[in-house]
Amino acid sequence: MNNSDHQSFRQNRTCRSFDIAGREELKDDPRFENLTSRVAHSEEVYGLLAENVTRQS
């Protein structure tokens, strides 16, 4: 798997996580558009996803 494929895989996995959490609008959020941005905002990503997982439990 080359670097481009690996980044695409990570982006797809992130988008699926947002879908599962019911937060589809986050897929277009510039804070989460690429790996560098997601890492810089990782606490927000995990916080947003944790909120939704707690609500769905």
Residue-by-residue pLDDT tens, the chain, 57 positions: 666 665 676 778 888 888 888 888 988 899 988 889 988 998 988 888 788 777 766
Q: What residue spans define the domains of the chain?
A: 3-56
pTM above 0.85, yes or no: no
Is residue 45 within 8 Å of 32, Cβ to Cβ? Answer: yes
